[in-house]
């Protein structure tokens, strides 16, 4: 039986990248600039994706030294793992 597979949204790929570069707990969280550097993405695109993922509770923010840093939540990790398991 063939299925119509919906495309994987861009922000889900972005979430996957954030997971794979290790930002999966507060002490490993990254700033927008660091994420942009490590994923070779434009900071404005990073910000846009983060906004969507924060509203779905897949990303959390913590502020360290006045700088916002982002990491994948436990639900976000589960979403990433569902892509490959």
Partner 1 sequence: MVTWEFPPRIVGGIARHCYGLSRALVKKGHEVYLVTLDFPGAPLYEEVDGVKVYRTKVELGHPDFIVWTLLFNHFMEKKIAMASKEASFDVIHVHDWLTAPAGISSKHYLNRPLVSTVHSTEVGRAQGLHTPSSYLIDGLEWWLTYESKRIIVASYSMKREIEGHFRLPQDKIDVIPNAIDPEQYEKNVDRQAIRARYRVGDHERLVLFIGRLVPQKGVEHMIRAVPKVVKEHPEAKFIIVGEGWSKGYLESLTKSIGCEDRVTFLGFLPDQDLVDLTLSADLLVVPSSYEPFGIVALEGMAAGVPVVASNTGGLSEIIEHDRTGVLVYPGDPKSIAWGINRVLSDPAYSNYLIQNAKRRIAEIYSWEAVAEKTLKVYEAAEENSPT
Query: Which residues of the chain form contacts with partner 1 (CB under 8 A)?
Result: 1-6, 8-9, 12, 16-17, 20-22, 24-25, 38-40, 56, 74-75, 77-79, 81-85
Question: In the complex, what is the shortest distance from the CB of residue 63 to partner 1, in angstroms, rounded to a whole number?
Answer: 19
Question: In the complex, what is the shortest distance from the CB of residue 48 to partner 1, in angstroms, rounded to a whole number?
Answer: 15
State residue 67 phi and psi, 5-degree precision.
-105, 135
* CB 71 within 8 Å of CB 25: yes
38 versus 67: smaller Cβ distance to partner 1: 38
Question: In the complex, what is the shortest distance from the CB of residue 11 to partner 1, in angstroms, rounded to a whole number?
Answer: 9
- How far does Cα 29 stand from its chain's mean position? 11
66 versus 80: smaller Cβ distance to partner 1: 80
Instruction: Return all residues near 49 (Cβ < 8 A) that are at least 6 apart.
Output: 10, 11, 14, 15
Task: Say how many Å lie between the first and final Cα of the chain, rounded.
Answer: 20
């Amino acid at each position: 039986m063939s299925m119509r597979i919906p495309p994987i949204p861009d922000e889900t790929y972005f979430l996957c990248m954030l997971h794979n570069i290790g930002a999966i707990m507060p002490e490993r969280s990254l700033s927008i600039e660091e994420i942009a550097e490590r994923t070779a993405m434009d900071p404005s695109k990073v910000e846009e994706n983060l906004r969507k993922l924060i509203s779905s509770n897949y990303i959390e923010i913590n502020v360290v030294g006045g700088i916002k840093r982002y990491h994948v939540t436990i639900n976000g990790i589960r979403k990433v793992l569902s892509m490959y398991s």
